[in-house]
Structure 1
Amino acid sequence: MPYRSRLPHSFLIGFLLFITGWLGVAGTANATHIVGGEMELVHNSGDSYTLLLNLYFDAYNGSPSALDADLTASIFDKATNDRMMNVLLPLTSNTFVSYTNPACAKPTLSTRRLVYSKVISLPPGTYNGPQGYYAAVERCCRNNSISNIVDPGAAAQTFYLEFPAVVRRGQPFYDSTPRIFPPLADYACRNELFYYDFGGKDADQDSLVYELVTPLNGHSSTVQPKPAAASPGPYSPITWQLPAPALPGQPALPPLGTLNQIPGTPTLQINRFTGRLTVRPSNLGLFVFGVSCSEYRKGEKIGESRRDFQLMVLNCPTNTKPSMVLLPAATGNVPYRPGRDILHLVPGGNHCVRLRFTDPDPNSRLSLSLSPVNFSGLLPAFTTATSGGVRSPGQPDTLTATLCFPECIDTQGKVFLLDVVVGDDGCSLPKRDTVRVAFTSVPPPNSPPTLTTTAGPALPLHVRVGDLVTFNLTGTDPDNDPIQLEMSGKGFSPASLGATLTQASAGNQQLGRFSWRVDCRAVGPDSLLVFQFAAATSPCAKRQTTMISVPIVVRYSNTPPVLTASPLFPLPAGPGLLPVVRLPLGSTFTATLAGVDADRDGLTMTATSENFSLTEAGMSFTAQNGVGVAAGQFRWDVSCDAVALRRPLDVTFQLVDATCRPVAQRQTVRFEIIRPDSPELKLYNIITPNGDQVNDEFRLPGLPLNFCDEQFASVRIFSRWGQLLFESHDRGFRWPGEGSASMYYYFVTYTDGRSFKGWLEVKP
């Protein structure tokens, strides 16, 4: 029986089923017990790929010590055969391959699947050759019991894979090689049809084409069975064995070759597009054969995978295929005649047929299956058991089953073909009987659903922000199909606006309730919102809908709020200027602000400054916000703290209404501190201390007055030689001179860094 295990890899070279007991061939000293293998290149991302080799090992005859811990793969440029790199592939997995039918298992057939893999990089700057690349692993030798090649114990094998460049026409070209050839560990029976699905899968949805090829031998040998690296191609093929001489009076046997690798009637064949392998072998033995799989993308070949495979042919007990008849209800016990009869399935008619199936062999277990030939989609279903035993103690000779076609199948006037298959559990592969059923089917008629709503009758609906909009919808289907109500918006999502549609079933109707509390999310440049509702049914998986629209106009208007102050702020001195409130130190300013909104929107009043906090300047503001009205109290206690800020004292009073498109009323006022007037600055440079009470002392009454942190610090008077003669920290100082005529210099400083200096002449 063929294995059902999937072999997810792109290339398989050699699958050896070495069974010494069945062939009666003694001695395996020269065999490596390698059953076969395959290579695959998987694209991960970017320049990263995984290179894999699956190797199959004869676990019954092979010694565990013969397992390789690693194998070396070599990559070559296909155009030049230049070596690109060698890749050491470590063993990463070791598992057993399962039988297709455990009941057909032979104790001498046991196969391990060994996986060797490594992540590699294929940079586009290096792997851009237009003819692509190939990877190879060489290993010797084959099992010496192979029947159709010369000196099999000394024949080597080459695991081989071709793949394209990773860049084409300046663009990245990613490809994962196909995963082909499921692992096979079953055997064929002489003079019985052997079949197996070698069809592969391709992750990139490339097209795959299969053909028979002669297996590769390569360069490894019994002297060097495991080369350190593969040699570049080309790789020599194996040599086919000459056919045995014909018996007297019999025609000469045809020579073995690519198209006659396993003798039989028919000889080994493979379907070019499906990969299905068939052979009715005529000779006993172990036979090697080769298959290639070419990969095409957009009609261009981009890669190729080769595999040589081995199949054991044994003498098997006779297995007669089962038989089956199909009995349509319209014909009673008259069997259906494949190729002549057509089942016509109509609404209200019988859609079921009866099956009778049996097997002449004792102790057979039969199973039913379906395979559509020229259609896809809905399939009939068995309403009774699809398997059972016959011709064994307690079991009947014949089994029955019922197959029913869904009413929804619609052949659209064409004739659909369906294979109904019964298979036994015979070894090595099941025998089958197939009844190909031709049928037409017309689904039952169907009417679309209806949909009504209580919205209206006057449309569009007119609403304002804050309104609650509700209405009902009713969906009805004349065929009583299940209905689903759906809601959408023309150019918007109703859910994003907070609209909901709840629904429930009532008899053959689907009732819906639309609810929407209109809020600011509905206010936009286009005030017309079209809500769309659908009643949907899916009879026979074909969607039918009926739609209605409910337009809703959202009305929105807003009157700006009004901000006033008492006392009124002064008018600005000119265009672009701010109103200014000027106060002296120690004074207090208070203002009451009021806000009113004609729309009764919520109001918020604030007072802020961009370059200082109100408290830093001795200011405070409290607000009483509300719906339609708001009030605020501003106070400024004028002190030196405000002077110390040394920046404009600009305060912005703002009133904002809480609505969908808020409008703010603002008034910015500049507050200034009045400085005391200083006398005119007069600097004296002559005194005459002669006692006449006129200009007898040096003093500076015209110096700037003290103001906050701008305080008089000191005055110092120096002789012409720089000697300090007088110093005072009193702004009202008096210096009578030194009693003799001379020239002097003075220096006055303030705490804010200002200074004044000059010279003074004393005359008697």
Structure 2
Amino acid sequence: MPNFYKFVIAVVFVLAIPVAVLAIHQVGGQIEMRAVGDRPGHFFIIVTNYLEAGPRADRETGGTLGVFRKRDDALMTTFVVRETGQRQPVIYSNTFCSSQRNLNFIVVTFQAELDLDPAAYNDTQGYYISFQTRNRNGGLANINDPTGTGFTFYLEFPALLQNGQYVTNSSPRFGPINGEYICAGKPFTFPFGGTDPDGDELRYSMVTPLDQKGPNRGGSQNAVSPAPYPDVRWLSGFSADRAIPGSPPLSVDPKTGQLSITATQLGLFVFAVKVEEFRNGVKIGEVRRDFQFLVVDCPPTTTPDPTVQIKDRPGLRDTTICQGNLATLLAKVDTSWNYQWQRDGVNLLNATSPSLSVREPGDYTVVVSPKAACSQSSTSESLRITVVGSQAKLSTTGHLCATTGTVTITATGATNVTYQWYRDGQPVPGQTADSLATLQPGRFWSVLTYATYGCVTRTDTVSLARSAAVVASIQSATGQARLCPQETLRLTGSGGTRYAWQHDGLPVSDATGSDLDISQTGTYVLTATDGYGCQGTSSPFLITPVPPVTVLFDSLPGVCGPDAPAYALRGSPAGGVFAGTGVEENQFSPKLAGIGNHALTYTVKAAPECKGTVATRTAVVAPIPAIDLADSMATYKGNTFTLAPVVTGNATRFQWTAGTYLDNDRSATPAVQRIGADITYVFDVENNVGCTARDTIHITVYSQLGIPDAFSPNGDGLNDVWQLPGIEAFPDAVVTVFNRWGEVIYLSDKGYPLPFDGTLNGTPLPAGLYTYTLRTVPERPVQRGSLLLLR
């Protein structure tokens, strides 16, 4: 490893927890979604957060995160993480420099236990967890308005139930990090990758960090809201692939996750890495991690390289020990030096002496720096320790159901060994192969004897337990085990993730869901299968029929007008419900209903959960007929005409009394034929409900007109106009008056509506004798005569 000071000023993982402090005091963190393995959907959400030590960090106890569905960003649930475990300091390789810079950080772990129902988390597009908070470090040199820019922490996970099978998955895990900063102009690498507990492939790429959704100043410190989330705004010259300038700039190895750069610009820079999880070539999850590095100009002073060796193995740079044994590593002793031992590049807690006793395999180095000066440190050559037996791990296949199941335990990673298997501390007779098949729960391990080194080691321990019994049960949507007439009933099963139904001992084809809509009575049985393949069978669920009911609704009388009194409604069997316009309990009110034909129903349920059987009747509130007919009229003898009264109220029956001269005395508009004398008609009407009305008309019949031979239009109110008594009997009559020279001085409209008043265009005519003609009806001759106008 090159010589340079290393310390991460701020590491902000995208899936950090909510904290109620300014973001400048939040150094970083990470989140993990870990399957517990005892039951489907049982997870621990573990959040590791790096904070500046101090009063604000002391107040942090956890926060709230949200789970969303990717397809439509629907909120599935929220949950709170709380602190677990003991707070630990972040380890620095150069304590003098970190003290000078007041770099004092702690690791705080928060955790929540979640039970996610696999049946509810079955969307093929998957789900995500997010958390938003504010604000970022004001000293950031590569984004716009850093103190007004927040964080969105983000993780994706797949559907828990796919094709009826439970999908076991945990998110990537990330180990502890060292505190480091970058020396300008010097090559820098940083292990930023993780491991996947399920063996899935991890792919890494540089991305733009996510900003908080909504206001970052004065907004909610810990808002829970769905995607999409905005990107931070880069300053000119910066981007996801050039977050820190360098030759080359900051980049990430797509397979290992190792960061590398030779920085060319001083400052504090934020960047983000997307960690994608692939299974069988298909992406199933994602974690986004924010990060910050400080680039500084490191002092040129160096410390002599420390000399390291393995105790009792002079000159060797590697050695092999048996599991459980110790190897002691020695460095040159100098009381003016600080020592910090590392395993695989990661600083070890409390490993600050010139010597180190180790049991774990790995590449060990020691970083040496002056106790009284801040200058570049030196890193020793590596010493490799191989531990025989440490690579022997146990893996399992299969599952122990409540009463059935087999699990095969296999020891991997060891060669040229003999095996002895143990269950609950007792050897399992005859089990000396590299795998063990068991039908029983317990704590299992294997003791391995290595022929080459003579080491006797023990594998890790696998604890097997039977899962809880699958309790299959059936419930009906109504809560009753009976089927209503002409209806379907939904049965709902529970207890598993897949289902098989039987009806009267025969499988129900294509019935694999938890719901089954039935239209037949009989016995139903459900077999439920959980995510591990364990099964349980329900008790028989007997569905009996509900006897049908015949509903009768008594006929209803029609009534005349809305003022008719209310009347009782009757139906059978008793206990039903009357409904419709104008219905009040078991009575019908014409006044409430109004004129019209009203559909009323009587509904009786065969059982409380059944749909009602309905009988229908029509309640008629008929209008009362009304007749619009003149009281009298005049006509002339022998005339033929039609009586045309206006009748309302839906009248259907008509009667004229007497019927003399009428062509049809039961017609609404009869013809009066060749009337010969005065007569009075009585007109009766009735509608279908029996509502009636009556009116009369008197007809005066004139044989001829009485025509006065003189009149005196002198304004005395007597005979001022030439009246023609009986002219109303001749509605087509036309009167013409001539002067002595035969000129027309008056011509009436039909029916003589404005009698002759002895004027012409408003000027009084002189007294004298005038002639006239009168045409009464077309078939009669014109009457002629003389008229004396007196003044």
> TM-score band (shorter)?
0.3 to 0.5
Bigger radius of gyration among the two: 2
How high is the TM-score relative to the length of structure 1?
Answer: 0.40
How high is the TM-score relative to the length of structure 2?
Answer: 0.39
